[in-house]
Chain A
Amino acid sequence: MHHRPALAHLAPWALPIALIVLWEVAARIGWLSSRILPEPWAVAKAFWTLTASGELFLHLRTSLWRAASGFAIGAGAGLLLGLLTGSVRRAETLLDTTLQMVRNIPALALIPLVILWFGIDESAKLFLLAVGVFFPVYLNTFHGIRSADQSLVEMAKSYGVTGWPLFRDVILPAALPSILVGVRFALGLVWVLLIVAETISAQSGIGYMTMNAREFLQTDVVLVGILLYALLGKAADVLARALERRCLRWNPAYR
């Protein structure tokens, strides 16, 4: 089926469009109070106003920067430690039990402590994001390294491949599918954590914009914030899939 009719392409969007039309109609004839749920048209207008004033861009930039830095710190540390404990038995003995214990603490339960340690500035938010993102990446990296196909490792060793080339050409690529599962999960998680981090205490960011709008009963702006999170989450997922397709193109399952 290379040439699907245009109608078939639109089919997945039929339900969302129908819902939006129904929602608009319900708001127009007065079934829905604008205090509970503003009409879609009002949300679109709020979106436009915020974009035109540059306010949206400012908040978006702050949130994106936080998400990217928190993710880079947490996922980077998770990757490095996962590679270490996965490859070196002694590192596993020393670190893994501790990490498994810490893993069971939800990142959000750390909020009171984080506020005590870092106050309410930027580092508190980054810490929270980094801790949350660390574990999915760490666990999947560790698992990926450990479950690397030993028959391939044996073959490579018998062909004289050892040390760094063995790691680079055999163990790491074997672990990559699992590592990318961790990365994808972490990319989804980073937005959840960001929402919470930005609603605690912030002077900018989408979370701040949403909480601020709630104070003034601007439900249309609240909805713009929620929709933005949905879009950013989707964008992160698309990015992760593209990364998988690029890195795992040898695997027929990812083509």
Chain B
Amino acid sequence: MHTNLIERDTLETAAARGTHGVALTLHKIRKSYGARRVLDGIDVALAPGEFVAIVGRSGCGKSTLLRAIASLEQLDSGAIKGNGDVRMMFQEARLLPWKSVEDNVRLGLTGDVTPARSALQAVGLAGRATDWPAALSGGQKQRVALARALVHQPPLLLLDEPLGALDALTRIEMQRLIESLWLARGFTAVLVTHDVQEAIALADRVLVIEQGRIALDVKVALPRPRRRDAAFAALETKLLDRLLAS
């Protein structure tokens, strides 16, 4: 795959941030459930530190694609090249209700609590470390889930519509939080969403998936933090038109 100008630009800005993100290459990925083909030859390369959003209608295969990258789905054919070290945020927070907030963040870690504490600090929940997850709001639970993912310093973070169930204001707060953490840490991020605005607000690049294939691959060359200006609206219209036409 050739590297065009914008991609090189992304690479350079990522490098400038002191990135530890990894490149990810998906090669002719296919996956069927019975007779239904969910992923039909996805071919794409992600630069280290790139933020890519995947949008599409329900059932287009975007979640399956993300789960395949996380090795939660077996592929029928094709290959995924990354370094395998990946963390995922799910649609639901999936916190263990019988562990305190801090112990949830420490899941899978050994050693002292310092990394968990600073991860909680990063998402603004340092004061809730000893609470049970049941005492948190939906947005707070997702912030704990974000801390749990980031405490591992993953070079690749997958986000499977983690903000879908949140109210509008909490959503915008979470988008800003995710963007600032991504800017500060430089991991590669893949966000699956059905919200075109969210995709444009966060991503360097938006992929539209249709019937298991990449129908559109658009760079978002807008300055950050993104404002909802004319260029934003034009891009949104372009993507929505493509989605509605499918």
Hey, which bits of chain A sit against chain B, CB under 8 A? 151-152, 154-156, 158-161, 169-170, 173, 176, 248, 250-252
Binding-face segment, B21-29, B91-99, B117-125, B177-185: B91-99
Assess whether B72 is in contact with A154, with CB atoms less than 8 Å apart: yes
Q: Is the interface of A mostly helix, strand, loop or mixed?
A: helix
Q: A158-B71, A170-B96, A173-B96 are in contact. List 13 more A-B contacts (CB 8 A).
A: A151-B90, A152-B94, A152-B96, A154-B72, A155-B90, A158-B72, A159-B152, A161-B107, A161-B108, A169-B99, A250-B134, A251-B97, A251-B98
Chain B residues contacting A151 (CB-CB under 8 Å) are 90, 92, 94
The distance in angstroms between the C-alpha atoms of A98 and B157, with both chains bound, is 48
The distance in angstroms between the C-alpha atoms of A169 and B106, with both chains bound, is 12
Hey, which bits of chain B sit against chain A, CB under 8 A? 70-72, 87-88, 90, 92, 94, 96-99, 107-108, 132-134, 148, 152
The distance in angstroms between the C-alpha atoms of A161 and B88, with both chains bound, is 14
Given A151-B90, A151-B92, A250-B132, A156:B97 Cβ within 8 A:
no
Chain A residues contacting B71 (CB-CB under 8 Å) are 158
Chain B residues contacting A156 (CB-CB under 8 Å) are 96, 107-108
- Leading 10 A-B pairs by shortest Cβ distance: A159-B108, A155-B94, A173-B98, A250-B98, A160-B108, A250-B132, A161-B108, A252-B134, A250-B97, A159-B107
The distance in angstroms between the C-alpha atoms of A169 and B133, with both chains bound, is 15
Assess whether B96 is in contact with A158, with CB atoms less than 8 Å apart: no
The distance in angstroms between the C-alpha atoms of A152 and B96, with both chains bound, is 7
Given A169-B107, A250-B134, A251-B134, A159:B87 Cβ within 8 A:
yes
Chain A residues contacting B90 (CB-CB under 8 Å) are 151, 155
How far, in Å, is A109 (CB) from chain B's closest CB? 40
Chain B residues contacting A169 (CB-CB under 8 Å) are 96, 99, 107
How far, in Å, is A150 (CB) from chain B's closest CB? 11
How far, in Å, is B140 (CB) from chain A's closest CB? 16
How far, in Å, is B70 (CB) from chain A's closest CB? 6
21 pairs from A and B in contact (CB 8 Å cutoff): A151-B90, A151-B92, A152-B94, A152-B96, A154-B72, A156-B96, A156-B108, A158-B71, A158-B87, A158-B88, A159-B87, A159-B107, A160-B108, A169-B96, A169-B107, A170-B96, A248-B98, A250-B99, A250-B133, A250-B134, A251-B134
